Amino acid sequence: MSGDLPADHGGTDDADEIGEVIRFDVVSHGDDARVMHVVGEIDTLTAPVLRSRLDEQVSTVRLLVLDLSDVTFLGSAGLAVLVAAKDDADRRRHTLRLVPGSRIVTRALEATGLLGLFEIADGVPQALGAAG
């Protein structure tokens, strides 16, 4: 299982699975940017794991692109984690940029009034290329 292997952030994929519910793939884009692609559900069970992964990434790179295009559920616990990660990135003068990629994620952010809090991009290439 890939979760048993140590993470390698030197430009390779790092896939961790929590059962069949959520997966994280992290890919470096140079020294100062990473993309974390999240696949699955972000709920009360998986939100703490997402928080841990985000804490690791936000503390080490100036730009973290969070690709949520394959998230199938985004609950209040997940939204709270996103807000906390945004606050942490802001404190560090780093950037957390979201790629919602689906109506599920966009609706959750809109319904809670959080959409305007985040830097949003239409896709990963745009998120990586956007001026910070």
Instruction: Tell me the pLDDT band of 19, cut-offs 50, 70 and 90.
Output: low
Q: What share of the chain is helix, strand, coil (3-state, %, to 5)?
A: 40, 30, 30
pLDDT at 21: 82
Domains annotated for the chain, with CATH where assigned, are: 2-120 (3.30.750.24)
1 pLDDT higher than 50: no
Which residues does 64 contact at the CB level (< 8 Å), separation at least 6?
Answer: 33, 34, 35, 36, 54, 57, 58, 89, 94, 95, 96, 97
pTM of this structure? 0.83
Residues 6+ apart with CB under 8 A from 68: 38, 74, 98, 99, 100, 101, 102, 105
